[in-house]
């Protein structure tokens, strides 16, 4: 059951002139019920599990299987079945599909075009490429660490003509050793947490720290996708940059990206690809919430650039304890979801929190 704040946000999106991107369907990620629920349902090549991450349902299935296999270790996150921080990943993929960001931006194919081939994930899409590193690499690591069953071997299907995408654990660990190693650490940490004497709040903070370390390593590895940005408008590229930078803040705060929290932050993301001439907060066909999110992201990125990167560094220094990280999560919610929250207040509070660390 969604909290009133989350439900209110979704209703507000629907009531405005524009509409937020669809990320939930009957309270779960879009088309979740059509994904594979067991590893044995995935196509095989010989004895090797052979998913095709260039199909939306296959890529979404990776998340469903990862969540199911890690849920037994997520008790410190809360009592609800959707309290795992991994729920943020499939909701992000839902947003990418429904905002047409998985489509081929070059126009050379109909892959991902809603009216033509909506379930296709284009290897030309920068967004699909970035997401590859936060779906395929963690899945391959989960298999390697035994979360998908003993001895399960996985090789991803590769699109013709795109040799840059790693397809096996060995391949990814060679090309992206830091990202692969940090996902391994996350899964190993989950196993170790079952015997940990730490109280639940500290255990939760530790698991979230390892989870976000792994996510950030995947995001850094996705720098390999940068050339694909040339097919987008300067406005969309600017948004993509600020969207990536926002991960630095949620990561340092050990944000609990469970289903409810993730829906609250992802729903007001722009429901279409931005074009030249789009100027938030005055994009007529986007909702008030979408315009506010775009303006806030742009402000955070601009201030950080003006300060030579020190805003992100100040924030990271301020997130020095379980207590300050809790305050940081509350402040991010205010900044991104409350249009009345003054940006100057954000800077003042960060400065005060930094001096207390």
Rounded mean pLDDT, 114-131: 96
pLDDT tens track for 126-164: 999 999 999 999 999 999 999 999 999 999 999 988 988
Q: Which two tokens stand for residue 108?
A: 């050379």
Residues 297, 235: Cα–Cα separation, whole Å: 12
* pLDDT > 60? residue 1: no
Percent of the chain exceeding pLDDT 70 equals 93
Residues 157, 54: Cα–Cα separation, whole Å: 8
Burial class of residue 72 in the structure, from the number of CB atoms within 10 Å of its CB (0-12 exposed, 13-18 middle, 19+ buried): exposed
Rounded mean pLDDT, 73-99: 96
Q: What is the pTM of this model?
A: 0.91
Whether the CB-CB separation of 300 and 313 falls below 8 Å is answered with no
* pLDDT > 50? residue 8: no
* pLDDT > 70? residue 309: yes
């Amino acid at each position: 059951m969604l909290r009133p704040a989350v439900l209110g946000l979704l209703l507000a999106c629907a009531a405005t002139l524009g509409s937020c991107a669809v990320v939930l369907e009957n309270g779960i990620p879009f088309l979740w019920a059509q994904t594979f629920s067991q590893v044995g349902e995935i196509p095989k090549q010989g004895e090797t599990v052979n998913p095709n991450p260039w199909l939306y349902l296959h890529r979404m299935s990776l998340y469903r299987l990862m969540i199911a296999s890690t849920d037994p270790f997520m008790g410190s996150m809360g009592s609800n079945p959707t309290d795992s921080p991994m729920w943020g990943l499939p909701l992000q993929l839902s947003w990418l599909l429904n905002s047409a960001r998985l489509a081929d931006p070059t126009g050379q194919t109909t892959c991902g075009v809603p009216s033509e081939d909506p379930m296709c994930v284009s290897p030309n899409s920068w967004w699909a490429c970035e997401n590859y590193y936060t779906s395929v690499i963690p899945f391959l690591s989960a298999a390697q660490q035994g979360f998908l069953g003993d001895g399960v071997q996985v090789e991803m299907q590769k699109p013709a003509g795109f040799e840059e995408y790693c397809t096996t654990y060995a391949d990814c660990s060679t090309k992206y050793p830091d990202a692969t190693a940090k996902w391994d650490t996350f899964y190993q940490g989950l196993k170790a947490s079952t015997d940990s004497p730490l109280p639940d709040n500290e255990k939760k903070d530790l698991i979230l720290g390892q989870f976000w370390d792994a996510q950030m390593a995947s995001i850094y590895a996705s720098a390999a996708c940068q050339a694909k940005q040339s097919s987008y408008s300067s406005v969309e590229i600017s948004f993509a940059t600020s969207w990536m930078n926002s991960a630095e803040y949620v990561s340092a705060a050990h944000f609990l990206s469970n289903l409810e929290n993730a829906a609250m932050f992802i729903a007001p993301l722009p429901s279409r690809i931005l074009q030249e001439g789009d100027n938030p907060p005055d994009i007529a066909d986007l909702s008030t919430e979408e315009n506010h999110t775009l303006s806030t992201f742009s402000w955070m990125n601009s201030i950080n650039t003006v300060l030579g990167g020190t805003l992100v560094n100040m924030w990271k220094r301020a997130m020095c304890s379980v207590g300050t990280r809790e305050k940081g999560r509350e402040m991010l919610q205010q900044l991104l979801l409350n249009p009345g929250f003054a940006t100057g207040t954000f800077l003042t509070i960060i400065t005060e929190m930094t001096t207390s660390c």
